[in-house]
Structure 1
């Protein structure tokens, strides 16, 4: 590393060549570079203050908070169901995953357990959401290092996922699909066959994308041995999801602490060896294949029956019964004006989201509004390692590292 100094001293031109070279070498000042918050390589409003010695990064200071909206405090002023649309805006690349994680947290507080079909429907929605999120990162992350064609392949498949969102929820992006105690409606008839056909098509696309990238020397050179996170650092910085598994830690909440019946499905948890950008890419690609495997099992074993909690206070009755019965009309009025009547207590629920462990801590004093609501953001923890990870790399390595991180500022800043 060159010695940094703020004083510029002109060298003696009559001195010898060795003295002149040594003096010039001590004059090199570092350069401070602002990368973001409006930069395509930062994937959102992330600002990196980089100190550079030529092309080498000496220090990195990430600046977050540009998307801070005080969502947690908002959640402490409205009913539990009214907060569901806000969860769409956390990880806006996998909104249904946030919906379901939050609903599961509230249902844990209420001590509710969904019927089997309701749980299976949520697992289907979660894995479709995981596929959509991972497809985007594989495509955009590859494009960041020069592989444009793969992005076109993966985004085409992601559009199909959004078509399923539209069938399932009525919206393609921010769906607000989940309710406390169930979903807004069941899967439409014939969707299961379309999803199975998509699983076959997506599997072929993943194989084609993998072949394109593994034979691309530029991609391999820019991903291998770049952004290495050791097992110790991954655990020390609280990384979760793929970032932790790529460093050799086999931790997946769907296996470790199963919810929504995940223990009934067979799937593998991919684990890396080195913890570099290439390992994170391989783990993400294999997780896509495992999600397809889970979806096939869900559709093959989809049980019959209700999808929501039946006749529970705080849930909406059938509209047909509301229009014909006084008790149901009163129940709908109470549910919409007061919400669910949660007991006093504290709960924490964590789900294995595409970005990592998304957790919700709810403190309740009773009633339809939480006393305190806090969120465990996986992207926030992921970005915390940047000041240690990026120094020593070149500026051109940063897009590869950030692309492999698959973070989103919506749930980082909250």
Structure 2
């Protein structure tokens, strides 16, 4: 048997047995190396190669910034959004989508977005008698934008694995992220009008100005991060460090909502999350090397050539594959496992690696609201205190909306390539 195929089979077996994915990759790689008679020195060499990437430095800083923001600044973002659109039918659901989009542009983490935004808006929706299934589903899928809207951890991992410019990937994901947010806002408003959800009294101009004034430092953060990257003032990695320092100074000195005892827990959470992702990337370099040297990608390329010779057909097959994978596997793990197999296909069919990076991130973000993994949906449902079967039923329509936006992004390359082409 091809050693690369053996590695993937062993990885899946270990994962289904409940072994953590990072250990599954490591054990499968070690077994493949031993069975093929390769020198064991490959293991530490390739792991070090995986660690030795400046792009990965962005991950701990963005995670830290998001964790600091969740301590107090999140409430200000929600307050500003609610003041601006509180008079609209279903305003709390719309505020949830908008706040998730803003928070996603800070943390790059969908799970953090679910906990931070959902922890505030879901209890508020419950008080106003929103159906728990709808509330949890709209929060879950809106939170999944954290893996798409830059700075996205998925895109950083993909860029590191494929040696693609992370700044270009961030730019490419901006328009698709905005499109998805707009689509979800429209859906929430239409649903609210159909079911006659309550709306709040329209805020006065004075109240709106006061809300913006109180939340300006929090609102300026995504502008600082994305504006700095897009204008070439700093790289994605430098932007991550700037965002962490900005969040720290604003939370501690301006709003004074961050306490030193809370900072210890924030640093601990960020360190644990970073360690898990970085070790995963390091282990993946070993598995990627084994898969590529086994000639498995060429065999897969020949198979796809036998099925379709059209880029349109290939992209459709890859979308179906990624949607299925996203249902069962954590996103970063899926990127690491599949990228060595898919990259040769992209080159052979003339498909932009930047476009596909966004497509891959979108697919795997939708996986965050589909069982059995569906971490964002499960967290939102837990916070809302709803029945999972009701939430799963309610998420069908927003999930189809997400797939519709995914198809637009897949088959209209200008949506992902226009902004990078303009800026570079």
Between Structure 1 and Structure 2, which shows a larger proportion of helix residues? 2
**TM-score of the aligned structures, taking structure 1 as reference length:** 0.26
From the CA coordinates, give the structure whose radius of gyration is larger: 1
**TM-score of the aligned structures, taking structure 2 as reference length:** 0.26
